[in-house]
Amino acid sequence: MTHPGEISRRQLIRRIGMTAFVAGPGAGLLSACATAGTGGEPAAAPSASIPVSADPKNPFGVDAKTPLEVVIFSGGYGDAYAKELHEELYKKAFPGVTIKHTATQQIGTQLRPRFVAGDAPDVLNNSGPESLDLAALAAEGHLADLAPLFDAPSIDDPAKKVRDTLTPAVVDNAKINGRDLVLNYTVSHRSLWYNAKLFQSKGWSLPTTWAEFTALGEEARREGILLFAYPGQKGPYYQLWNVLYTAAKIGGNQAIIDVDNLVDNAWNSEAMRQAITAWVEIQTKYGNKAYFGLDHTQTQIKQLQNEVLFYPTGSWVENEMAKDKPDNFEYAIAPIPDVTAADAMPYGAIQVGVGENFVVGAKGKNPQGGLAYLRLMLSKEGARGFTEKTQNLTVVNGAAEGVNLPAGLMSAARAQDKAGQNIITEARFEGWYKELFDYGSEQINVVMAGRITPEKFLANMQKKADDVKKDDAVTKQTRSQ
């Protein structure tokens, strides 16, 4: 399912070229896609890295006499944020500069021939159904190295590097074959969601420990409210995500990284065991098996009717249910409570996913200007303006302060700012190994319904992961963080 405002992991992987391809001699990126990781991803062709100077106002040595070309995918976000905001910031930084602005929904049709001809735009918002294969572009040296951007001084605080002002997922997901080549600009948040107005009316506080979580379950049950529910139909993977993120909360992000990398016995780790056991106990004590027959919309309606306290989903839910949301319901995000006293990640850690990618053309006429443009996008002014125009959060920490956002989105922004560097990583096997993810989405219902034990669930998942690992027909991929 694709949710409003969210770039799914599967979409993101396709966009950076992690799909098999056959390209004839001389075909280049006209017909090429690419495989990734250990399965034969084409090495990103080296391109000269633009040095960072000591001048915090112009670290890339931009010449204002050199025009800048910007191409924006005019989809759900439109292109006003670029034309009326980011490009104006660039003109202010480099007076007299000329900017060519193009908005299109035909990224591939319009841009592929230009890249082949060595006539790339300086900034490209590579999005939409015709988005270009970035791994193929990287393999042919068409993408500029973004490491200088991440290492440049921040516009808002030159004492900080740009990378230190962003959610960590940005740099984690910037890489193609180990090099920083892609900037993902927007974020979504997956965690537990609840009705802040209900909590206020009841005088309830968010539980920070598992003991407080179960105590609230007892109190809610006395009032006829379920502590927790997830959709058993068309959304059981919401709970699979929830278990994975809980495992990362307990054992650190390595628990998810090992699952993604098909590490031996990754599913049998202690963190995974504690996570699935804790959630099965919650379902057994405070859940309702009737929800296994409901889809995501039906379950979300139940929450809007205050029949469910906590629901595991992403920040798209507020927009998804906007037409059905009553006045007495206010979406807010709740971090996963501490499961043990020794959780690797503190209370307040949340999952943040990134998407909507931008690249700089290494063979464009002004790659220095392209890096400067992205740096302006990553200023608080540039990011705040984007949020105001699109009602979507960016990867820049603190940039949404003072913006009039929907309640749920504001809650997510505050939670992200509070989490700081304590961000739970995304599980990437959803896109890398669809067979494994789909199997997990089936098995999560089986274990949550009590038809198998948590130990059997983990054993089943490990066997399936082992089968995928042994299957030479499946392209293997790896991640380091």
**CATH code of residue 373:** 3.40.190.10
Q: Do the domain assignments include residue 446?
A: no
Q: Do the domain assignments include residue 116?
A: yes
223 close to 314: Cβ distance less than 8 angstroms: no
- Helices H / strands E in the chain, number of each: 20, 11
**Sign (positive or negative) of CA dihedral 307, 313, 315, 318:** negative
Task: Give the pair of three-digit tokens for residue 456.
Answer: 């059997």
| HSE toward the beta carbon, residue 131, CA cutoff 13 A | 25
- Could you count the other beta carbons within 10 Å of the beta carbon of residue 19? 16
- Could you count the other beta carbons within 10 Å of the beta carbon of residue 386? 27
18 close to 175: Cβ distance less than 8 angstroms: no
13 close to 357: Cβ distance less than 8 angstroms: no
- For strand 68-73 and strand 99-104, is the pairing parallel, antiparallel, or unpaired? parallel
- Domain tally for the chain? 1
Name, in order, each residue with C-beta under 8 angstroms of 207's C-beta and a sequence gap of 6 or more.
Answer: 213, 215, 216, 337
pLDDT tens for 160-206 read 999 999 988 898 888 877 789 999 999 889 999 999 999 999 999 99
User: H or E segment at 412?
Assistant: helix 407-419
Q: Do the domain assignments include residue 47?
A: yes
pLDDT tens for 106-120 read 999 999 999 999 999
Task: Give the pair of three-digit tokens for residue 149.
Answer: 């951007």
242 close to 311: Cβ distance less than 8 angstroms: no
Q: What is the overall mean pLDDT for the chain?
A: 87
pTM for the full predicted model: 0.68
| Cα angle for residues 172, 475, 40 (degrees, 5° grid) | 75
Q: Do the domain assignments include residue 345?
A: no
Q: Give the 3-state secondary structure of residue 104.
A: strand
Give, to the nearest 10 degrees, the angle between helix 270-286 and helix 210-222.
10
> What's the confidence (pLDDT) of residue 431?
65
- Cβ-in-10-Å burial (0-12, 13-18, 19+) of 71 comes to buried
Q: Do the domain assignments include residue 245?
A: no
Q: What length does the chain have?
A: 481
Per DSSP, 58 falls in state: S
Q: Do the domain assignments include residue 427?
A: no
Residue 245 has pLDDT above 90, yes or no: yes
Whole-angstrom distance, CA of residue 181 vs CA of residue 145: 5
Question: Domain of 375?
Answer: 9-182+358-390
pLDDT tens for 56-99 read 899 999 999 999 999 999 876 889 999 999 999 999 999 999 99
Q: Do the domain assignments include residue 314?
A: no
Q: Do the domain assignments include residue 416?
A: no
| Backbone φ/ψ region at 288: left (φ over 0), alpha (ψ -120 to 50), beta | beta
> What's the confidence (pLDDT) of residue 131?
83
